[in-house]
Amino acid sequence: MKKILKSIIILVIFITIVVIVGLIVSNTFFKLDIPNISSEKLDFGNIIKDEEVTDNYEIYTQKIESKDFINLAVNSYIDNLVEEFKNNNLSDKKIIFSKDKAVFKQIIDTYKVNDDLVSVKITSIFKKNYQKNYTTKIYAYNFSNKDEIVITLDDLFKNGYKNIIPDNSYDSFLLKYNDIELYTGIYKKNVSYNSLLEYNASKKINAQNFNITQEEYENLFSNQIDKNKKMVAITFDDGPHATNTYKILDILDANNAKATFFMLGSNVLKNNNVVKSVYDRGNEIGIHTWNHKELTKLSSEQIKNEVDSTSDAIFNITGERPTLVRPPYGSVNSTVKSVLSNYTIVLWNIDSLDWKSRDEKKIVPLVMNDIKDGDIILLHDIHSTTIPAVEKIVKQLKEQDYELVTVSDMLEAKGYDTASTKLFYSARQ
Ligand SMILES: [Zn+2]
């Protein structure tokens, strides 16, 4: 009897130790600290620029100068791409027109995920000899500074996630604020933490499977759109602008707000970095044509050129094609609609007339007087007088408990099918 009791006690002590050790390991390992990924973009090394220009091609690369294990992964990936590019563009003939030269451009973005995890996104844009169109390819690495290794999704999540993110569905990934961004060649796909949540609920997988505390897990989803809340979409036309747009982005970020920027291709070309910031900080980018042409006065081919060229310019910077078009002056007819049938046309129902008054005392009441759930507000980020108005509008909307979201997010949250309905003034119901 005593013997049995003794072995039971020993067994209980043993199990307790195993459980405690297990808990300590699971809670301290690969702690995912998602908030601040998108806004806290830090460099953790030097970026070294390099270029090689010959008669046949032009190569502009960036390399990273950080810890050895980071340099090794990133720089050898880049070396391989450059080598492949050179092999693909060997030519005995000298190229006469520089526009026919092959071009390779490559940009490094670094992100600090938390105290341990850092990521590097490598965007390569290239075209072959005599080709006109560029191809974009994105690859990302995520590193654990502490362990000095390249980390995989297996390191971050326990079993289960592969039902949503199968091994063959991506070449690389980047951890972002609301989602995990997956890349395959030129294709990009976002998997929201929300979709992981739904999946977890149905499969009865709880937060412990993510190796993070319940509180951290809930924080992951606190930035998701609450469909039960009132919401509006602020839109900015005619930009981007070299200084004003940044000031507006700061106001949005400070208020946990997102907006949609309908950009002119001609301004995109002049302000690459602004476009990148608008995108990286989680806002939506739509097309406002190349030159602010009134589309109803153009031929089908001219309409297509205005929109496609702007789409190309945005795509070359963000790697993502816009799905929304706002025709200048809100001018739409049946030709415009049929040429743009692959896009969603977004007009507005709240006009701030900011371009006309240039006066916040007039802009703010025009927007706020009749604001309702589902509204789309028109403003212009090219006018500096719009900035103080935006600050007041955002503040007042927040006080009235509105969520400030992108047009696409609002249409989705309100249950609109953009595949069947192609033109929206608002999402009022
Ligand atoms: Zn406009």
Q: What pLDDT does residue 270 have?
A: 94
Residue 138 confidence class, pLDDT cut points 50, 70, 90: confident
CA–CA distance, 134 with 222 (Å, rounded to integer): 38
Residues in the chain: 429
Instruction: Please tell me whether residue 23 adopts helix, strand or coil conformation.
Output: helix
* For the ranges 36-50, 162-176, 373-387, 415-429, the one whose mean pLDDT is highest: 373-387
CA–CA distance, 233 with 98 (Å, rounded to integer): 44
Q: Tokens 């992100």, residue? A: 111
Q: What pLDDT does residue 311 have?
A: 95
CA–CA distance, 255 with 124 (Å, rounded to integer): 33
CA angle 354, 246, 269 (to 5 degrees): 90
pLDDT in tens, 21-33: 554 444 333 322 2
The structural domains of the chain, ordered by start, are 46-220 (3.30.565.40), 230-424 (3.20.20.370)
- For residue 262, the CA-to-ligand 1 centroid distance in Å is 8
Q: What pLDDT does residue 83 have?
A: 94
- For residue 296, the CA-to-ligand 1 centroid distance in Å is 14
Does residue 220 have a pLDDT over 70?
no
Best CA proximity match to 220, nearest among 178, 248, 258: 178
Q: What pLDDT does residue 178 have?
A: 55
Q: What pLDDT does residue 157 have?
A: 66
Range with lowest mean pLDDT among 26-35, 138-147, 371-380? 26-35
- CB of 306 within 8 A of CB of 335? no
Range with lowest mean pLDDT among 142-146, 196-200, 356-360? 196-200
- What H or E segment, with its residue span, contains residue 170? none
- For residue 329, the CA-to-ligand 1 centroid distance in Å is 6
Q: What pLDDT does residue 182 have?
A: 85
- CB of 34 within 8 A of CB of 219? yes
- CB of 106 within 8 A of CB of 62? yes
- For residue 285, the CA-to-ligand 1 centroid distance in Å is 14
Q: What is the CA radius of gyration of the chain?
A: 25
pLDDT in tens, 64-98: 888 899 999 999 999 999 999 999 887 767 788 87
User: pLDDT higher for 28 or 348?
Assistant: 348
Residue 159 confidence class, pLDDT cut points 50, 70, 90: low
- For residue 327, the CA-to-ligand 1 centroid distance in Å is 8
- For residue 283, the CA-to-ligand 1 centroid distance in Å is 18
- Give the predicted TM-score (pTM) of the model: 0.55
- For residue 132, the CA-to-ligand 1 centroid distance in Å is 29
pLDDT in tens, 247-295: 999 899 888 899 999 999 999 999 999 998 898 888 999 999 999 999 9
Does residue 379 have a pLDDT over 60?
yes
pLDDT in tens, 168-212: 888 899 876 556 788 886 677 777 665 555 443 322 223 333 334
- For residue 292, the CA-to-ligand 1 centroid distance in Å is 6
- For residue 190, the CA-to-ligand 1 centroid distance in Å is 30
What string of DSSP letters covers 333-354? -HHHHHHTTTSEEE--SEE--H
Mean pLDDT of 347-355: 97
Q: Tokens 């047009």, residue? A: 407
Q: What pLDDT does residue 42 have?
A: 47
- For residue 242, the CA-to-ligand 1 centroid distance in Å is 17
Best CA proximity match to 275, nearest among 324, 313, 234: 313
Q: Tell me what percent of the residues of the chain surpass a pLDDT of 70.
A: 82
Mean pLDDT of 222-227: 62
Q: What pLDDT does residue 1 have?
A: 63
Cis peptide before 240 (omega within 30 of 0): yes
- Tell me the catalytic residues: 237, 380
- For residue 330, the CA-to-ligand 1 centroid distance in Å is 8
